Amino acid sequence: MTDTPLGNAHALVDMMGYLAMTIDDRAGDAPDNSYTAKLLAKGALHCGKKIAEEGAELALALAAQGKTEAASEAADLIYHIMVGLRSKGVSLDEVSDALRKRQGISGLDEKASRPK
């Protein structure tokens, strides 16, 4: 672990807003013309598989590669998560609400409260 803080999220939030608009705009494109449209056309199951693949790539980058590669893989994962959410009809507001409900609750306590 390093002492480097995560830093300010404003730039990431701005980019995620732009990315969300781009994904929404490309959702109606022909799959032959847009990777986003192609992913969405294949459905939520395919999107979920891509998220798992990208998550594994990020995990490997964190374990064995440099900061640049880790940041790039994290960007890929964020993109695929957002496309997956769109494919399932889950809005970013719903994700934000889920995170807001967890504010001030220990991650250990939150996990323990989930149904088994």
Phi, psi of 91 (to 5 degrees): -80, 160
Contact 21, 92 (CB under 8 A): no
Q: Please check whether residue 94 lies inside any domain of the structure.
A: yes
Average pLDDT over residues 65-84: 98
Q: Please check whether residue 81 lies inside any domain of the structure.
A: yes
Contact 57, 73 (CB under 8 A): yes
**Which range marks the domain in which residue 45 is found?**
17-98
Q: What is the pLDDT of residue 110?
A: 78
Token readout for 62 is 């964190």
Q: Please check whether residue 78 lies inside any domain of the structure.
A: yes
Count how many domains the chain has.
1
pLDDT grade for 114, boundaries at 50, 70 and 90: confident
Q: Please check whether residue 80 lies inside any domain of the structure.
A: yes
- Whether the per-residue pLDDT at 63 is higher than 90: the answer is yes
Q: Please check whether residue 41 lies inside any domain of the structure.
A: yes
> Residue 78 belongs to a domain with what CATH number?
1.10.287.1080
- Whether the per-residue pLDDT at 97 is higher than 90: the answer is yes
Q: What is the pLDDT of residue 115?
A: 86
Q: Please check whether residue 77 lies inside any domain of the structure.
A: yes
Q: Which of 107, 101, 49, 59 is nearest to 80 (CA)?
A: 49
Residue 81 has, within 13 A of its CA and on its CB side, a CA count of 11
- Whether the per-residue pLDDT at 51 is higher than 90: the answer is yes
Q: What is the pLDDT of residue 94?
A: 97
Q: Cα(69)–Cα(62) distance, rounded to whole angstroms?
A: 8
Q: Please check whether residue 42 lies inside any domain of the structure.
A: yes
pLDDT grade for 116, boundaries at 50, 70 and 90: confident
Average pLDDT over residues 41-53: 98
Q: Which residue has the tokens 């969405």?
A: 40
Contact 101, 109 (CB under 8 A): no
Q: Please check whether residue 28 lies inside any domain of the structure.
A: yes
